[in-house]
Structure 1
Amino acid sequence: MVNYEAVINARPEKWHKAAEEWVTLAKHALRAAQDIRDNGTKPLADNWTDEVGQKAAKEFEKLADQLESAYDILLGGKMLCEAVADSMETALSSAREINELAQRHNLRIGPDGLPEGAPMPGEDPDKLHAREHIVALRDHVLQQVGEADNTAAAKFSMLTKQVNLADPDEALKVQNKASQAEMEILGAEIPKDAGPMTQRMWWNGLSDKQRHELMLADPVALSKLEGLPESAKREMRGTDGKFDRVKMVEYALQNWDQDDPIDFGNNCTNFVSQALDHAGMQKKLDFWSGARGDDTWGHESGIGNDWWDKTMYYSKSWGGAENQQNFMLDHGGEEVPRDQVRPGDIIYYEQAGDNDQIEKGNTHHAAIVTGVMPDGEIKYTQHSDPYRNVSLDGRLPNTEKAEGQQKVRIVRPHPDWY
């Protein structure tokens, strides 16, 4: 159990440094795996075809698999280190807010984070309220760091058991679990169960940078806080009022593994459209041809048969990644650089390398940005295959290994038809 003294003596910079070292090692491991495949496995398979050559090629491939697996496990460690560091930083901000409130009301804070001494008879009501607020915020701090400590310890233990893993597919699952844990640790920073005054104190204690980072990381949880300023909620929802970005993210996080209202077979883009629809994006239909016009997005009621409805009552931009991407860009949307990405943006994969089944230049996949970590790592949620809050850069090498080089484009819709 973490006590208050440990909180105020925390050194988040050491955890940030550890995260940097983990990600450096991860990149080295991935490069080594690729070098072995390019300069070992492939030449052997091409030029030494007897039994001995085949055996040597298998050994090289096993080593490459171990290194590729190490990449995912090390990247998972980096995520946990960053999460712990961020949790420490917000806890320290809350501790400073406690001290400032105590000073304003001539209260002394003990090593346990609580006001020293009992309330005096006839004590000023404002001072009594300050005591209550300090206790509530201190309790949140201990709960926050306790959850972070327990979650991180459990997931670091999970990683240590996988150090000899030589199965990249299984290692990617480990990375995904670490990504989920990172989001859990970050979510514990937000005082969801506290009262509005405690929430306001917590928010006021954060720096502008921390507020901005949390708005990018977990807009759904923040938007539900009664004590949060309406201006912050409006910024997360989207200031143009065209659709609610928080509702879009919330839909994605709640429905990532659920059946879709209509089945297109590959439902990745359909899932994005369902989220936009849920968030309030208005449909653009043609007067004569309804949803099936050349410049439409949306659907009509249909007859209840998936094959007929998706053919006749849904726009081509509803379920097709390239059609949707082009429609959004043609109607006010903008392609945004990585350092400006926000939850509610749409990720599109454009084929840039060789693939027998996907033509170069074809946009073939779509997903939703559901969080951006303080270090800039982008988390996304998708359907077909379903994943929730996984790392874009963390999973990209696996995608490119399976499908060839990808050009990742991130689009922010700004509907101009209403």
Structure 2
Amino acid sequence: MVSYEGINNARPSKWKTASGEWHSLAGYALAAAKDLRDYGVKPLAENWTDEVGRAAAGKFEKLANQFEVAYDILLAVNMVADGMTTAIETAHSTMREAQQLADQYGLTIGVDGTITGPPVRNRTEAEELGPYRSQVQDLIDQAVEQVTTADKLAAAEFTKLANQTGLTDPDKALNELQTHASHVQMEMLAADIPVDQDPTTVRQWWGGLTAQQRKDMMLAEPVLIANLNGIPEDVRTDLRGNGKYDRVKLVQYALDNWDKGDPTDFGNNCTNFVSNALHAAGMKEKTSFWEGTTDDDSWMIGNPSGIDWVDKKLAYSDNWTAAENNQNFMLRHGGQEVSRADVKPGDILYYEQAGPNDSIEKGTTHHAAIVTAVMPDGEIKYTQHTDSYQNVSLEGRINATEKHEGAQNIRIVRPNPDWY
């Protein structure tokens, strides 16, 4: 277990610097992979088509794959280092709050975290001091526990990543190493939150955080924060939204159902998943009395028969199931397109084709996903169906998407239904 003294002596600024350096290295690796393909593999494939040319192109492609793997591993290290930065910074805030409480109550915290108080003259004074000592101790315990958890998770993940430096399969690096590191980072953040503590400790913990740390927690762990007993009501209200639907429930639905089947299988269920999540969060359907699901301005489920091939044609409006229709419908009916700097959990990501693709026309929106977390450094985590992923990195995966499908324009939309 990490000691109280060890946390006091920890320097989150060093972790932050290291995280930034790993991120920069990841960028260099990705740029090298792209350069090898653009200026090595591609020209050889187009201009040197004999056996020697193919062999040379194969060598360049192998090197490009190795650099792409390096990118995923380095970005994974960056995520974990960023998680350690946050864990230490929030622990320091919690320990400062503990020290302020101790000063207020006339208690002393030793360098090892031991709490001592003024001499008591009788049992009554001892009993009166007890609750104050407990409040301080609970905050210290929270700080020690969160950094201990983060330290164990980071150590295990760094060891795992260090043992994978010989990997040459980019898909494995992306889908196993980078994705796992993203989940570990989320575990580290969750451990920073006093989920099992009493409301008094929660209020003191929250009050001890800086304004920026509170904002970071709301963006990174909206479900945990909104359901934490002791969090101010205005914070819950802000997280849940304007009352048209519950943004926390939207995120919760996505996190709970990312690997579960949809009621109707469209083959590509990305937008169906988004609509189901919005509906589960309280967004009311926009129905059409005369035309039902065939109305091009409806967002609704009709009367599913339970037979997929029938329901795909008749039971759902196009605005419910098709990415471009869904995007345009939300923007037409009160939704707002937001920048990455303003993104929040519960916003919807839409992938618009920006580069050449034989099967997707340029300018067509062809995919949708749900923003489920935003990290302190601005990294966006999203959750989706087809393929099914939970809390994966937009930055970490966009390269693979563009490698296979061409350049993408990511549009972020915040729905705000105007039909009720």
For 1:2, the equivalent position in structure 2 comes to 2
Taking the aligned partners of 1:155 and 1:162, their CA distance within structure 2 comes to 11
Equivalent position of 1:159 in the other structure: 161
Q: Say whether 1:416 aligns with 2:410.
A: no
Counterparts of residues 276-287 of structure 1 (less than 5 Å): 276-287=278-289
The alpha carbon displacement at 1:138 in A equals 1.4
Q: 1:171 Cα deviation (Å)?
A: 1.1
Alignment of 1:289-308 (within 5 A): 289-308=291-310
Secondary structure of 2:263's aligned partner: coil
Q: Summarize deviations over 1:86-133 as a string: whole Å, max 9, x none.
A: 000000000000000000011001223231259833227663221111
Larger displacement relative to structure 2 (299-308 or 59-68): 299-308
The question of whether the paired residues in 1 share the 8 Å contact of 2:336 and 2:413 is answered with yes
User: Number of paired residues?
Assistant: 417
The one-letter amino acid of 1:67's match is: F
Query: Structure 1: which 5+ runs fail to align?
Result: none
Q: In structure 1, what is the Cα distance between the partners aligned to 2:353 and 2:37?
A: 22
Change (3 A) 1:41 1:413: same
Tell me the TM-score normalized by structure 1: 0.97
1:221-259, Cα deviation, whole Å (9 max, x unpaired): 111111111110110000x20000000000000000001
* 1:314 partner SS: coil
Letter in 1 for 2:150: A
1:322 equivalent among 310, 316, 324: 324
Which of 119, 133, 136 is residue 134 of structure 1 equivalent to? 136
Q: What secondary structure does 1:122 align onto? A: helix
Structure 2 residue aligned with 1:89: 89
What's the counterpart of residue 352 of structure 1?
Answer: 354
- Residues 73 and 173 in structure 2, CA contact (< 8 A), matched pair in contact too: yes
Contact 2:107 2:118 in 1 (8 A): no
Looking at structure 2, the residues matched to 105 and 83 of structure 1 have their Cα atoms a distance apart, in angstroms, of 33
> For 2:93 and 2:409, how far apart are their aligned partners in 1?
39
Matched, 1:69 2:69: yes
Residue of 264, 267, 291 corresponding to 1:265 = 267
* Aligned-pair CA distance for 1:60: 1.0
Q: Is residue 236 of structure 1 aligned with residue 239 of structure 2?
A: yes
Matched residue SS, 1:335: strand
Judge which range, 288-297 or 144-153, deviates more.
288-297
Q: Which amino acid letter does the alignment assign opposite residue 43 of structure 1?
A: P
- Whether the aligned pair in 2 keeps the contact of 1:290 and 1:313 (CA below 8 Å) is no
Aligned to 1:255: 257
What percent of counterpart residues are identical?
Answer: 56
1:287: how far off? Answer: 1.7
Greater Cα offset, 341-350 or 282-291: 282-291
Give me the whole-angstrom Cα distance separating, in 2, the residues matched to 1:118 and 1:384: 63
Shift in Å, 1:80: 0.7
How much has 1:294 moved relative to structure 2? 1.4
Q: Deviations over 1:187-206 (max 9, x none)?
A: 10011111111111110110
1:189 is aligned to 2:192? yes
Q: How many angstroms apart in 1 are the aligned matches of 2:355 and 2:47?
A: 25
Alignment partner, residue 28 of structure 1: 28
Q: Are 1:179 and 2:179 counterparts?
A: no
Amino acid at match of 1:315: S
CA–CA separation in structure 2 for the residues paired with 1:245 and 1:277: 11
Secondary structure in 2 matching 1:301: coil
Q: Give the deviation of 1:395 after TM superposition.
A: 0.4
Query: What's 2:395 paired with?
Result: 393
The 1:231–1:124 alpha-carbon spacing in structure 2 relative to 1, beyond 3 Å, is farther
Please state how far the C-alpha of 1:61 moved relative to its aligned partner: 0.9
Q: For residue 37 of structure 1, give the secondary structure of its aligned residue in structure 2.
A: helix
1:292, 1:313 within 8 Å by CA — same for their partners in 2? Answer: no
Q: Distance in 1 between matches of 2:190 and 2:345?
A: 15
The letter of the residue matching 1:288 is W
What CA distance in whole angstroms lies between the structure 2 residues aligned with 1:150 and 1:119? 39
Q: 1:366 aligns with which of 356, 365, 368?
A: 368
Structure 1 range deviating more: 327-336 or 48-57: 48-57
| AA of the residue aligned to 2:240 | R
CA RMSD of aligned residues (A): 1.3
Deviation at 1:368, TM superposition (A): 0.1
Question: Unpaired runs of 5+ in structure 2?
Answer: none
Shift of 1:44: 1.9
2:214 corresponds to 1:211: yes
